[in-house]
Structure 1
Amino acid sequence: MKARALALAATLLVGGGLLAGCGSTSSSTGASSTSGSKAAQYKVGLVTDTGGLNDHGFNHLAYEGLLQAKNQLGVTVSVVQSQTESDYVPFLTNYAKQGYNLVIAVGFLMAQAVQQVSHEFPHTHFMIIDDEVNGPNVTSSLFETQQCGYLVGELAGLIQKDHALPNINNDNTLGVVGGMSIPPVNTYIAGFYAGVHAVDPSAKILLKYTNDFNNPNNGQVFAQSEIAQHADIIFQVAGGSGLGVITAAQQAHVYAIGVDADQNYLAPNTVITSAEKGVNVATFDTIKEGLDGTLKAGPQYFSLANNGVGMAPPISAIPRSIVNQVLQSEKEIISGKIVPPTNIPNS
């Protein structure tokens, strides 16, 4: 994780947010000078949503994929961080006007902006993460996060039911703090509900939304409210706001489940696992296909079957019998025996 911190520390934002220091690089894989030159001429611009690069999840994973492409493929990259939703259209437009080959929009909330700008710049290829935008020059990366949500839900349900960790109370209550009530958030939560109730139908699940993705204080307040109602395992699906959920859980000596990336490093004794989304994989693969000339428009799906989503290694304190039961469910999801839902049940 030190490498991640150093990478972010090296990010210098100038002139409206464009990343400095990410210019042309030669291929690090020993490619010929001709192929290296071709890669350096392939320009990729990434626009974050308002959560920014320091969300320790969604946007940061996209940035990791971008840096991987820069280092391994030799492409020229740039990134800009959106401060408000009004930044989306001008930032996407700026990259298109500068002749970038691929422009990446990080997040569901950028769909309308991608729809508009991709139509205005038909010769620029766009990638959007977590929503589908139709267009001959748009690739949409979609993640079946109900699958990994199910796995962490089953894990939490078994821990709660069996009192398998210290400080698990007798109130049989778990919590979820979401960012906004939008499909990429709610598919995680729908899977979580299903996983919990598959092993403990009587479990109570508290659900609150912060209505933002970049305010840890809000996440902390909402988590504290759920903890006060005796939730002792809380699943955060709130981006940067969810960092406050982890803080609240740590302070109250209860447990949290991370999202998007493996967030155990933020609080090793608190974050028992994370529901992972391979945004970095999707970003790198899309850039590589663009460079190779094989990138196609339309949806690309990421699931347990192709390692596009997953469950981070649970902490060692969790009994192996519980972990093995969840891993068996993972196999059954891949085989189609278990099909996690995408809609949250009515409460």
Structure 2
Amino acid sequence: MRRTRLMALACAALSIVALTAVAASQAKSSKPAAVNYKVGLVTDIGGLNDRGFNHLAYVGLQRAAAQLGVQVKVLTSTGANDYVPNLSSLAKDGYNLIIGVGFLQEQAIQQVAKAFPNTKFAGVDMNAETDFQGGISKNFEGLIFAENEVGYEVGYLAGLEAKRLGKTAVSSVGGIPVPPVVRYIAGFQAGAKAAFPGVKTLNGYSQDFVAQDKCKNVALSQLAQGSAVVFQVAGGCGLGALDAAKEKGAWGIGVDADQYYVNNRVLTSAQKKVDVAVYTSILNQVKRNVFAGGSNLLFNAKNGGVGLGKINAGVPAAEVAKTKAVAWQVHQGKVMVPTTCANKGC
């Protein structure tokens, strides 16, 4: 009897060793083999620590390195004069795909893509079909988003909250009025008015995507005019608007990333999944041999490319339910959201 128990324990121990060896082998083999494909990323002026737009692009790049085995490199732009040198440097170094982050790189990527016709380029927030005066070469792919759709969703919640709190206005702080920023704000204003037809929508621009004090000053002016909710659409600069909202006991709305962690007065965030777009562009070429040259990949509510972030726990459950119902209608294409503001409101 004792001998039988000892033999059983020995077999069990061997089984555990064998399973551990298999698990270790599987874990080791789960890392993708390096592929002969190089991807370069050129940031916008906000840099990788903007807690939003550029950071998300970097997250997508790192995911591609980890899951697809591609070689990656990031060049940071501190000003507009860095765009062409950064893009050109990667092209000269033989990078297969070069991704420019942000509409402000439009002219630079148009110039460099033409100069390096055998290199593929992708541009976050650059529409290959409409944004390039004189057109864009076929070695360029646009990565674009339906910002107006998620702007509508957060705007609807902002309108509900303004009405509940007895306020008469909501507001937005844009960085520079480039098309993606305008689409966010157009959707926001339409959503707010859908929830609260009598609400006043204020808007202002800092003309900057980095300096937080500039956005904070714009937001403080809006809050002084009675805004209940401030939607920041200005990258790193917009963190100043969120700070102003907290300082005055109002709500703030984050942008691009889910910025619920910034402070406890973030109502929700308008997520634009730049990380998914960057990863998808790389995946398409490495695994599927697909490239939308001269065209775009569109990321919208229907395919999960944009969407609501976490909603603050201080929001009544009934408002959360209403907002999610509206978001589902947007997802289903049952709400036609404008891409420009009424009465030149943005």
TM-score for both structures, normalised by structure 1: 0.86
Contact 1:254 1:270 in 2 (8 A): yes
Between Structure 1 and Structure 2, whose CA radius of gyration is higher?
2
Name the counterpart of 2:149. Answer: 147
Q: What pairs with 1:263-278 in structure 2 (closer than 5 Å)?
A: 263-267=259-263, 269-278=264-273
Read off the aligned partner of 1:206 and give its amino acid letter: L
2:332 corresponds to 1:330: no
Shift in Å, 1:335: 2.4
The correspondence for 1:61, drawn from 52, 56, 59, is 56
Alpha-carbon distance change, 29 to 75 in structure 1, aligned in 2, over 3 angstroms:
farther
2:257 corresponds to 1:261: yes
Name the counterpart of 1:166. Answer: none
Name the counterpart of 1:103. Answer: 98
Name the counterpart of 2:244. Answer: 248
Read off the aligned partner of 1:207 and give its amino acid letter: N
Contact 1:157 1:199 in 2 (8 A): yes
Contact 1:261 1:276 in 2 (8 A): yes
Name the counterpart of 1:30. Answer: 29
Name the counterpart of 1:313. Answer: 310
Contact 1:29 1:73 in 2 (8 A): no
CA distance in 2, matches of 1:54, 1:331: 32
Shift in Å, 1:185: 0.1
Shift in Å, 1:232: 2.2
Shift in Å, 1:29: 7.9
Question: Residue 291 of structure 1 aligns to a residue in which SS?
Answer: helix
CA distance in 2, matches of 1:98, 1:339: 45
Contact 1:108 1:129 in 2 (8 A): yes
Read off the aligned partner of 2:151 and give its amino acid letter: G
Question: Residue 264 of structure 1 aligns to a residue in which SS?
Answer: coil
Shift in Å, 1:334: 2.4
CA distance in 2, matches of 1:289, 1:336: 26
CA distance in 1, matches of 2:325, 2:66: 37
CA distance in 2, matches of 1:331, 1:175: 24
Q: What pairs with 1:161-180 in structure 2 (closer than 5 Å)?
A: 161-163=163-165, 170-180=166-176
**Aligned length in residues:** 309
CA distance in 2, matches of 1:59, 1:266: 17
Q: What pairs with 1:158-237 in structure 2 (closer than 5 Å)?
A: 158-163=160-165, 170-237=166-233
Read off the aligned partner of 2:228 and give its amino acid letter: D
CA distance in 2, matches of 1:341, 1:231: 22
CA distance in 2, matches of 1:52, 1:309: 22
Contact 1:29 1:72 in 2 (8 A): no
Answer with 61-70 or 225-234: which moved more: 225-234
Question: Residue 301 of structure 1 aligns to a residue in which SS?
Answer: strand
Name the counterpart of 2:132. Answer: none
CA distance in 2, matches of 1:203, 1:264: 25
Name the counterpart of 2:14. Answer: none
Question: Residue 275 of structure 1 aligns to a residue in which SS?
Answer: strand
Q: Show CA shifts across 1:209-234 (max 9, x none).
A: 00010111101111111111121210
Cα RMSD for the two superposed structures: 1.5
Question: Residue 218 of structure 1 aligns to a residue in which SS?
Answer: helix
CA distance in 1, matches of 2:176, 2:301: 24
Alpha-carbon distance change, 308 to 29 in structure 1, aligned in 2, over 3 angstroms:
farther
CA distance in 2, matches of 1:131, 1:209: 21
Name the counterpart of 2:133. Answer: none
Query: Once superposed, which parts of structure 1, at least 4 consecutive aligned residues long, lie more than 3 Å away?
Result: none
Contact 1:102 1:125 in 2 (8 A): yes
2:112 corresponds to 1:117: yes
Q: Show CA shifts across 1:289-326 (max 9, x none).
A: 12122233221111111000001020122112111111
CA distance in 2, matches of 1:296, 1:184: 20
Q: Show CA shifts across 1:184-225 (max 9, x none).
A: 000000000000001211101111000010111101111111
In structure 1, the gaps of 5 or more residues are 1-27, 164-169
Name the counterpart of 1:342. Answer: 339
TM-score for both structures, normalised by structure 2: 0.86
Question: Residue 265 of structure 1 aligns to a residue in which SS?
Answer: coil
Q: What pairs with 1:14-93 in structure 2 (closer than 5 Å)?
A: 30=29, 36-37=33-34, 39=35, 41-93=36-88
Alpha-carbon distance change, 326 to 132 in structure 1, aligned in 2, over 3 angstroms:
same
Q: Show CA shifts across 1:104-125 (max 9, x none).
A: 0001111111111111101111
Name the counterpart of 1:14. Answer: none
CA distance in 2, matches of 1:335, 1:230: 34
CA distance in 2, matches of 1:326, 1:253: 22
Answer with 90-99 or 334-343: which moved more: 334-343
Contact 2:302 2:333 in 1 (8 A): no
2:285 corresponds to 1:287: no
Q: Show CA shifts across 1:66-100 (max 9, x none).
A: 11111122211111111111111110000000000
